[in-house]
Structure 1
Amino acid sequence: MIFQTLLFILFIILQNHSIHSQYQPLANLWNVAENEVPELLVREKNLITGNHLLASLLNEENFGESYIDVKSNKIYINILNLSNKQKILEDSKMEKYKDLLEFNGVFNSLANLNSTFNKLISLNYNDKENNDFINQAKKFNVIIRHRGKEEIPTSSVSNYQYGPNQNKRNLIKRSPPSKRPKLAIEVLGGHGLHNNDHNNSYGCSAGFWVFDEEFPEILLLATVGHCAIKGPFKPDGSVDFYYLGLKALMTNTFVGTMETYDFDPIDRGYVAVNTSNTRLSIFPSIINPDSQTYQVQFIVGQKILSEKDIGSTICKSGYRTHVTCGTLRGIHDTYIMDGKTYKSVLEAELFSAEGDSGSPVFQYVIDDDGVIRGNVNIVGLLLAGNSTVNMTLFHPVDKILVDEDIGIELTLLTVSNIGKIR
């Protein structure tokens, strides 16, 4: 507890230090000098606010989607009938933003497009051309809504791989094996994990720490469930994970045991660590290894992204490609990939590669003047990426924390609630 207190004091001190180098990933994204980033961040904040206010004025019968573009300082609105344009411009909510609005004429409303996609998605899921068309169409910010559990085909991979009669309550109460070498290193979001199987090695990224408030002595490191897909499996179906260095150096440093994991429709897994039986340095933070002066970002909260955040900036920290930033492009109720159906998937134009799965996806917290103080809000967990087309998929943070159907109700570990863990 003393160590955690010292870390918190360090967090306060670092708040006041220069963190200019944190702007580098954003400068790379926007292709600008680092000193231009604060102004663009203020602009983005203003655009997002305007786009959220705009939401109540748009309906699916007469409009498509709206989205922001930071570089052009515009809110783009896909509109079916341009005669509705004046109504929006004259609304008092848009008084501050009307010069930022740009209207694009389209031929189909969002309601018509969603109706078409709902019919398509109910067809044969194994039809590659159909699936490719649906997923490519999403790049135009159309939301594919697919509701009803009974309509979703069963995956060929059984969900929630864990031992017989295992449930959340006894999972959290049970400690990882105690006969392990004590860990004397930090595992932060963006560090690497591996399964320690030299013949069938598999690496992924650490996401973020979560906990169940009923059992605060057990911390869970959230990552993707498919990190466990190659085992090696213990008799109860669980998989042990070890620290993977930033240069992909496999170590025998034990981190914890993943007993609960899911491949789809939400790809998530939890590596359990007993705080009373480890020297693991635990603090809610994300690694930024390429920063020369400030390598740690502090997790202060979470944010649920909506359709009105499309066009906003998000970043990720992965052990393979480190911190990169990109743009939110779409939010999908259902996403089909490699024959599997995933639910609640967000799509971003964001560079990531193999090994980044499980990365924390986040947004910087900024002051009113666009200054970054080293704090971030978690927005999701990286599911998959395609470096060739610069596309990344991730699940929203709320789907990692809560699932009423299977009894998961977890809390994100932040700098403000770290005192709750023992």
Structure 2
Amino acid sequence: MMRFKENQLKAADLIVNQQKQYLNDNTYAGSYIRTTDNIVVFYTTNVTAVDTILNLPAVIPIKHLLSFNVSAQNHFNLADLKARRNRVYQIAFDNNPVLLTIFVDVELNNIVVSLYHENDNVNRKFIDEVNQIIQNPPIVFESKDLSNNEQINSNASAIMRRVIQIPLLAGDGFCNLDQSLTCSLDYFGMRQAETGGLESVFVTSGRCYQGEIDYYLKPWGPLGIPPPNVYYRIGIMDTSETWYDYGILRIGDEVEPIPSIKNIDSHYYPEIQIWGRNLNQNIHLGIHLCKSGYHTRVTCGYQRSNDALFFTNTDRYKIAYIINIDNNRQDVGGPVFQFLNLSTASLFGILTGGIGNIGLTTNLDDIVRLAEVSPVGIGQ
């Protein structure tokens, strides 16, 4: 029922946003799907032609799903917001801040910088320059606690090699030999091998790359039960040097890749079958997106924004989707997906990182285009 309602609202959002002569970046401030209220909220400005839009033939049948009653609180239209965001981007390029992301929030009608290190000197120059240049109103800084998210785990234990194949699922953990690094797996895919045939690989985050070393499976089990103290070799990793985050794990003979997402906390659906990748442009704010990862397992939230930049300690990444969702550093690389029903899902991308409860996703379409690795799913 919830899935049907959300699809209905997405269709309504799309219909209204197609009326470009009346609704465009210069005439309104964005839309947001509120599934719980069964409406799509359109944030208006003083030039939004509300009456005209509501009486368009394509819109009349869906008027009951629309709300044009909320004015943009800072009176910015989408063009204003994007220009303001680009100014913050430029200040960031000039100052090289770390561990933060910058995005448009249509509900706040402002730019948000979600960050660690707000109250120390690490990002002070960037923060001061933003506050000096951008005023009336100032942008929104959301400070997050660093302690439980972007810290890399260290938990050494014996890793043994066995001549056996065990399942390798999206959302499972993997690590280096001494477990100073733990990340999560995204999706099982196929790519063209140098020999001309097809090669089985697993996609993850390039942020987990530590050179030409072996990486090992680090599975998670039911809640309250410690994971086994034996891990299995997956293989080595290729990584990207672009703005788009991905790494490609070559699969050895000790593991067997499965086109499913790990959801072992569910008694009825311990594996979510991957139908394939999402083929529709995801322009809808407020829709549900989920992720599976080693530390926080399967969690879901709502898409808050799209099209952001993420600054780490060393790199910059282009982010497609910003989600309000529980996540942890060890979840990086895991799949971001949307349920089609209780047992199947479509893939949207990779969890590239997080700032507190803000999850940052790289678009799967960009990964497929650049890495040339197509996901294996039951719908293909």
Q: TM-score range by the shorter chain?
A: 0.7 to 0.9
1:119 is matched with which residue?
87
2:8 is matched with which residue?
46
Shift of 1:400: 1.6
Q: Is the 8 A contact 1:219 1:272 kept in 2?
A: yes
Residues 50-101 of structure 1 deviation map (CA, whole Å, 9 limit, x = unaligned)? 1111111221111111110100111011111266101111112222321121
Shift of 1:416: 4.3
Higher helix share: 1
* Match among 344, 350, 357 for residue 381 of structure 1: 350
Q: Is the 8 A contact 1:82 1:105 kept in 2?
A: no
Q: Is the 8 A contact 1:188 1:206 kept in 2?
A: yes
2:71 is matched with which residue?
105
Amino acid at match of 2:30: E
* Residues 227/56 of structure 1: CA separation in 2 closer, same or farther (3 Å cut): same
Q: Is the 8 A contact 2:186 2:334 kept in 1?
A: yes
Q: Is the 8 A contact 2:97 2:311 kept in 1?
A: no
Amino acid at match of 1:251: V
* Match among 176, 182, 188 for residue 209 of structure 1: 188
Shift of 1:261: 1.0
Q: Is the 8 A contact 2:190 2:373 kept in 1?
A: yes
Q: Is the 8 A contact 1:316 1:325 kept in 2?
A: yes
Confirm or deny that 1:74 pairs with 2:39: yes
* Residues 102/296 of structure 1: CA separation in 2 closer, same or farther (3 Å cut): same
Confirm or deny that 1:240 pairs with 2:240: no
* Match among 143, 147, 171 for residue 190 of structure 1: 171
Amino acid at match of 2:10: I
Confirm or deny that 1:268 pairs with 2:230: no
1:398 is matched with which residue?
365
**Paired residues for 1:248-267 under 5 Å:** 249=228, 251-258=230-237, 260-262=238-240, 265-267=243-245
Amino acid at match of 1:238: E
2:286 is matched with which residue?
311
Shift of 1:284: 0.8
Shift of 1:136: 7.4
Q: Is the 8 A contact 1:211 1:411 kept in 2?
A: yes
Residues 156-188 of structure 1 deviation map (CA, whole Å, 9 limit, x = unaligned)? xxxxxxxxxxxxxxxxxxxxxxxx743321010
Higher strand share: 2
Q: Is the 8 A contact 1:346 1:396 kept in 2?
A: yes
Gaps of 5+ in 2: 113-160, 221-225
Q: Is the 8 A contact 1:266 1:399 kept in 2?
A: yes
Shift of 1:227: 1.1
- CA distance in 1 between counterparts of 2:250 and 2:80 reads 46
Shift of 1:398: 0.9
- CA distance in 1 between counterparts of 2:2 and 2:235 reads 41
Confirm or deny that 1:286 pairs with 2:286: no
* Residues 133/302 of structure 1: CA separation in 2 closer, same or farther (3 Å cut): closer
- What's the secondary structure of 1:123's corresponding residue? helix
* Residues 66/49 of structure 1: CA separation in 2 closer, same or farther (3 Å cut): same
- CA distance in 1 between counterparts of 2:176 and 2:67 reads 50
Q: TM-score, structure 2 length as denominator?
A: 0.76
Amino acid at match of 2:9: L
Q: Is the 8 A contact 2:85 2:104 kept in 1?
A: no
Residues 332-382 of structure 1 deviation map (CA, whole Å, 9 limit, x = unaligned)? 15344556421133100111112100110111114xxxxx3x111001110
Q: Percent identity?
A: 25
- What's the secondary structure of 1:251's corresponding residue? coil
1:87 is matched with which residue?
52
* Residues 76/307 of structure 1: CA separation in 2 closer, same or farther (3 Å cut): farther
Gaps of 5+ in 1: 1-38, 145-179, 232-236, 367-371, 418-422
- CA distance in 2 between counterparts of 1:413 and 1:141 reads 39
Shift of 1:325: 0.8
Confirm or deny that 1:342 pairs with 2:317: yes
